[in-house]
Structure 1
Amino acid sequence: MTEKQLSTDEAEVYDRQIRLWGIEAQEKLRAANVLLIGVRGLGSEIAKNILLSGINSLTILDDGLVSLNDITGNFLLHEKVPIGSKIAEQVLPRAQALNPLVKIVVDTDSVAAKSGDYFKEFTIVVATKIKFETILKIDGFCREHNVKFIYGEVAGFFGYSVSDFQDHEYFEDRVQLAPGSKRGHEGDKKTKRIKGKMLYPPLNKVLVLPNTKQDIGAIKKMSRPNNLFVCMLMLVEFRKRHDRDPDLDKKSEDIEVLKIIATEIIELYQFSKINVDNLLELIFGELSPVCAILGGIMAQEVIKAVSHKEVPINNIFLFDPVTYSGKELTVGA
């Protein structure tokens, strides 16, 4: 990625952000080309945040059609948008209005039809609403072309994201006391740039499901396995088997299926004292407030990954539907 020098107009528009994370980080963002797969509830929140951050271009890839639920739950859609029209095309006007400085490209092809070469043009790929096999396929393409990848979903009051930023170098500015100075003296403080590196495992070592030939050795080393991690895998496996998310109209039936899947996952990982029964009533639909929270978190991780400023999450974020708090988890490393 070649950094793009900001114009005078851009520097004025992004003034507050430059004050927050610096001109160097903003120039890296301004050179970034982002691919967003899926622009439903969560995808629209991610799009909003990364557009406002000041990237170079955003490509929206979604072959889906507008439904009534989309119109009521997606703020990028006008209320008079025709049902059954291409959702990627319909979100374009409002998305572009958020930041006219960003080039937006709409792609209504199927993500499954894309070859590896398609992904090499991007700085980072952000994905929602895709199946397990597609997640691993895209992650493989991204690793081949040194493109960063983050995937996330919202299910009712629950949300999660998982990242593969590969060999990621970052820096952070820390305020430190000058040698020999006393605490409490503002003039004795200085800012020091600290560099670091994080190694992310491929997602086939992070998202390991029943009835696969994947290796679970690294995941068995997890120090504190929890029910939210099992809930995430349970939802990934449900979509893998049924090609849909849990449906409120089939709630009782789907809960029984989810219980069976959760039991299989717990047995596969040999987890003890893990139970997800208290979560099963809370994971239906794509609730807008949770989309806003997770969309903010994922966009923040995109900004960190692209700008190399601050420490990103390594590698899973889980939003607890009971306590409404976020948890970070490192898996597969």
Structure 2
Amino acid sequence: MPNDQISAEEKEIYDRQIRIWGHSVQSRLKNAHVAVVGINGLSAEIVKDLVLSGIGELTLADFCKPSHRELDSNFLFQNELSTSAPIASQVADYVRSLNPFVRVHHRDMEDIDNMNTVLTTPSPVQLVVFCRPLEFPQAFRRILQECAEHEPAVPLITAGLAGLRGFAILDLIQYKLATDETAAVSYPCSQSVLDIKEVDTKPRAHLKVPILQSAIDILNEKADLHDNVLAGQVGLHSAPSCSIFGSMLAQTIIQYIGEDTNGSKPANGANILLFNEDVVSAERHPKY
């Protein structure tokens, strides 16, 4: 049962943000339940911002054991790290200490097959945030499937970092995009972003020109080198990147939850966010 009442103590704690976004948004945050799957440096920033903002209920879940590299950017580990214990159980107490008004649960998943339990226990989840898509692409596909086939479908935000570069895919099911006109818009399934057919569009005749062919070969070598560098950074979360990109994603989540329940959702309809050390861009998938 939704509780729209904000106590006097809560008003004192959330006074600044209530002045910015109002009581109605704070009430929606209080009644929201978000699940964060994949506890790493990026999700630590998201969790911290959601908890301090007054999210009502938060479920932490992970299906792998931590490594000592987690300590480089994941500040949720406040005690001695155990590489044999699940991540979620190790960080849950510290997350609770950040805000006593937030109900924090942890789910130590043996594997991704336990995802349905995360979506329904102890109460239905309104939004899932998955932060290990680069390290576990098959888990990404499985979580995507579970959220889409759940009744009702659960919105999913998938985000990943590789060194100083990151991305997020917002699969928010359906919303109303407020422009000059109001129109019902459906978010495409994240699966469609992955299923891309590569087409060689270079004119065949031009490839026979020796100088041009040499230039293309050089560019291809540089591209391969760049890809190898990125591949080596998968799972590497620098603290500054986590802080900046994680805060941006937390604000996107707060905006999504805080909008009016008539279906008006985040502003510009962008469902793909790209982040690097130079620029942050937000785009809508051009096919939709």
TM-score range, shorter chain: 0.7 to 0.9
What's 2:108 paired with?
108
Q: 237, 242, 246: which one pairs with 1:286?
A: 237
CA contact (8 A) 1:301 1:312 kept: no
Letter in 1 for 2:271: N
User: Is the partner of 2:128 in helix, strand or coil?
Assistant: strand
Alignment: residue pair count: 253
Q: Deviations over 1:173-222 (max 9, x none)?
A: xxxxxxxxxxxxxxxxxxxxx9775421111112225xxxxxx6xxxxxx
More displaced 10-residue stretch of structure 1: 198-207 or 96-105: 198-207
Which aligned pairs between 1:218-233 and structure 2 lie closer than 5 A? none
Q: Deviations over 1:51-92 (max 9, x none)?
A: 111111110011322321122331111252334332211112
Sort the Cα spacing of 1:16 and 1:197 in 2 relative to 1 into closer, same or farther, 3 A: farther
What's 1:230 paired with?
none
What's 1:329 paired with?
283
For 2:193 and 2:9, the matched residues in 1 are separated by 43
What's 1:208 paired with?
195
For 1:155 and 1:110, the matched residues in 2 are separated by 25
For 2:153 and 2:251, the matched residues in 1 are separated by 20
For 2:188 and 2:30, the matched residues in 1 are separated by 28
Q: Deviations over 1:12-34 (max 9, x none)?
A: 21111111112111111111001
- Pairing 1:299–2:250 present: yes
CA contact (8 A) 1:76 1:94 kept: yes
User: Is the partner of 1:114 in helix, strand or coil?
Assistant: helix
More displaced 10-residue stretch of structure 1: 152-161 or 71-80: 71-80
Sort the Cα spacing of 1:22 and 1:82 in 2 relative to 1 into closer, same or farther, 3 A: same
RMSD over aligned CA atoms reads 2.8
User: Is the partner of 1:206 in helix, strand or coil?
Assistant: helix
More displaced 10-residue stretch of structure 1: 73-82 or 24-33: 73-82
For 2:15 and 2:182, the matched residues in 1 are separated by 25
For 1:97 and 1:171, the matched residues in 2 are separated by 38
CA contact (8 A) 1:67 1:84 kept: no
Letter in 1 for 2:155: K
For 2:177 and 2:137, the matched residues in 1 are separated by 29
CA shift at 1:116, angstroms? Answer: 4.1
For 1:7 and 1:80, the matched residues in 2 are separated by 36
User: Is the partner of 1:153 in helix, strand or coil?
Assistant: strand
For structure 2, the residue ranges without an aligned partner over 5 or more in a row are 203-215, 260-264
User: Is the partner of 1:22 in helix, strand or coil?
Assistant: helix
What's 2:207 paired with?
none
What's 1:126 paired with?
129
CA contact (8 A) 2:68 2:81 kept: no
Q: 287, 291, 314: which one pairs with 2:270?
A: 314
For 1:320 and 1:72, the matched residues in 2 are separated by 19
For 2:267 and 2:102, the matched residues in 1 are separated by 26
What's 2:47 paired with?
47
CA contact (8 A) 2:107 2:118 kept: no
For structure 1, the residue ranges without an aligned partner over 5 or more in a row are 173-193, 210-215, 217-267
- Pairing 1:155–2:158 present: no
Sort the Cα spacing of 1:46 and 1:77 in 2 relative to 1 into closer, same or farther, 3 A: same
Letter in 2 for 1:163: L
What's 1:35 paired with?
35
CA shift at 1:46, angstroms? Answer: 1.1
Sort the Cα spacing of 1:86 and 1:137 in 2 relative to 1 into closer, same or farther, 3 A: closer
User: Is the partner of 2:48 in helix, strand or coil?
Assistant: helix
For 2:84 and 2:117, the matched residues in 1 are separated by 30
Identical aligned pairs, as a percentage? 28
For 2:256 and 2:250, the matched residues in 1 are separated by 10
Letter in 2 for 1:69: R
For 1:15 and 1:70, the matched residues in 2 are separated by 34
User: Is the partner of 1:77 in helix, strand or coil?
Assistant: coil
TM-score by length of 2: 0.77
CA shift at 1:166, angstroms? Answer: 1.2
CA contact (8 A) 1:167 1:197 kept: yes
